[in-house]
């Protein structure tokens, strides 16, 4: 049987895991597929013309 303390620890652990997972996924996605806006990359530099 779970006590209130065990339930609280499990809840905090799951919230922490999903926060870490969401942050990591979004960070990796933004690094792999940077947002371009009007020909500029995410670091505000203009890509070389080919």
Instruction: Give the percent of the chain with pLDDT over 70.
Output: 70
Distance CA 1, CA 36 (A): 53
Top-confidence residue, 34 or 44: 34
Q: How confident is the model at residue 34 (pLDDT cuts 50, 70, 90)?
A: confident
Query: Would the pLDDT of 18 be above 90?
Result: yes
* Stretch 17-44: mean pLDDT: 84
How many other β-carbons are positioned within 10 Å of the β-carbon of residue 49?
Answer: 5
Structure tokens of 19? Answer: 């926060």
Total residue length of the chain: 50
Query: What pLDDT was estimated at residue 46?
Result: 63
φ, ψ for residue 40, nearest 5 deg: -105, 150
Residue pair 41/47 in contact by the 8 Å Cβ criterion: yes
């Amino acid at each position: 049987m779970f006590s209130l303390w065990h339930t609280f620890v499990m809840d905090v652990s799951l919230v922490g895991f999903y926060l870490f997972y969401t942050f990591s996924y979004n960070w990796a996605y933004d690094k792999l597929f940077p947002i371009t806006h009007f020909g500029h990359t995410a670091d505000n530099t203009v890509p070389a013309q080919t």
